[in-house]
Amino acid sequence: MTDTWRSHLLTTFSGDDAGKPAWVEKMAEGDDAGYFGPGSAAWAVHGGTATLIAGIRALLLQTLHPGAMAGVHDWSRYQEDPLGRLSGTIRWLLTVTFGDTTQARTESNRVGRYHHRVVGTYVDATGTERPYTAGDPELLAWVHVVFTDAFLTCDQIWGGDIPGGADQYVREWATAGELVGVEDPPRSQAELTAAFAAFRPAMKSDERVAEAVRFIRNPPLRRSMMPAYRVLFAGAVASIPADQRRMLGLRRPWWPAITANRAVLWGVGLILGKSSTSEDAARSRIDRLHRAAADEPS
């Protein structure tokens, strides 16, 4: 049973039942430790199981910007191929976190090329029709702020200590934002909080948001995975501030979702192991580089 669950989880997250698609195995290659490396805040946050809840929280909150929601509604294949979209996002996250700098830039460029194709119009929170591209500075900043906030918040609730603290994580992950074109991303928790608050007038709730929330609440996962997913979803909802929950049409669970998720994440950790396949590949690369440096004549 444990092996079956492990296979299901790894297929969902990476597209490969062993958790080692070609892009993960490539992380063992490369010429440097990457933008972060062992002991970094990014490795600590993105290597933990709280990322499962953070991903759900980020998806929910991203829907509240009508420009971002228009891009998803008009261009995304999330309803036809939700796991494909999920694995693509995870590929970018893990490659930037654990890959070498060349791999991180290459993967970010891949994402950027897709952004340039995503164009259209949307009605903003004031009722004005506006043009958009996925590469608009405002939309890039929104996605980065929501992502950073979600992963930081969920790690603070369910994760362990962050090396250097919250400010260090926000500062490190600003590099990832810059790689995909974000201009002057937040570099401290206070700046992140201020950036999120500045987006409040742009947030909007409508039928597109409701449709996306319904889909995120009930994604087409294997039936055996849905009970655990419902707990993760409830945890994501519980972690969202009350005013944003109301905009999403969600209520905080009446039962102790925060505590219940500690149990679910503990179980996921037992199934998947202490470190991810991406982190293992990165450590293998860094160990190889250290051995090569030690063998060089002085």
Give the pLDDT confidence score for residue 23 in this predicted structure: 83
Name the residue with tokens 């994402």.
111
Q: Is residue 293 in a domain? A: no
Q: Is residue 98 in a domain? A: yes
Domain count, the chain: 1
Q: Is residue 290 in a domain? A: no
What are phi and psi for residue 121, nearest 5 degrees? -135, 155
Q: Is residue 48 in a domain? A: yes
Q: Is 36 helix (H, G, I), strand (E, B) or coil?
A: coil
Provide, for the chain, the percentages of residues in helix, strand and coil under a 3-state DSSP scheme, each rounded to the nearest 5.
Answer: 70, 5, 30
List of residues 6+ apart from 70 with CB closer than 8 A? 120, 121, 122, 132, 208
Whether the per-residue pLDDT at 297 is higher than 90: the answer is no
Dihedral (C-alpha) 134, 137, 138, 144: value to the nearest 10 degrees?
80
pLDDT digits (tens, 9 = 90+) for 56-107: 999 999 999 999 888 877 766 555 555 555 667 888 999 999 999 999 999 9
Give the pLDDT confidence score for residue 86 in this predicted structure: 65
Domain membership of residue 39 as a residue range: 2-284
Q: Is residue 173 in a domain? A: yes
pLDDT digits (tens, 9 = 90+) for 5-28: 444 444 554 454 444 678 888 999
In the structure, what pLDDT confidence band is assigned to residue 171 with cuts at 50, 70 and 90? Answer: very high
Q: Is residue 292 in a domain? A: no
Dihedral (C-alpha) 279, 282, 283, 285: value to the nearest 10 degrees?
160
Please compute the mean of the pLDDT values over residues 227-232 and round it to a whole number: 90
Q: Is residue 291 in a domain? A: no
pLDDT top residue among 112 and 116: 112
* Lowest-confidence region among 42-51, 82-91, 226-235: 82-91
pLDDT digits (tens, 9 = 90+) for 251-295: 999 999 999 999 989 888 776 666 678 898 999 999 999 998 887
| Angstrom distance (rounded) from CA 240 to CA 248 | 10
| Angstrom distance (rounded) from CA 63 to CA 208 | 8
In the structure, what pLDDT confidence band is assigned to residue 155 with cuts at 50, 70 and 90? Answer: very high
pTM over 0.75: yes
Task: Spell 178-189 as b/e; 16+ CB within 10 A means b.
Answer: ebbbbeebbbbb
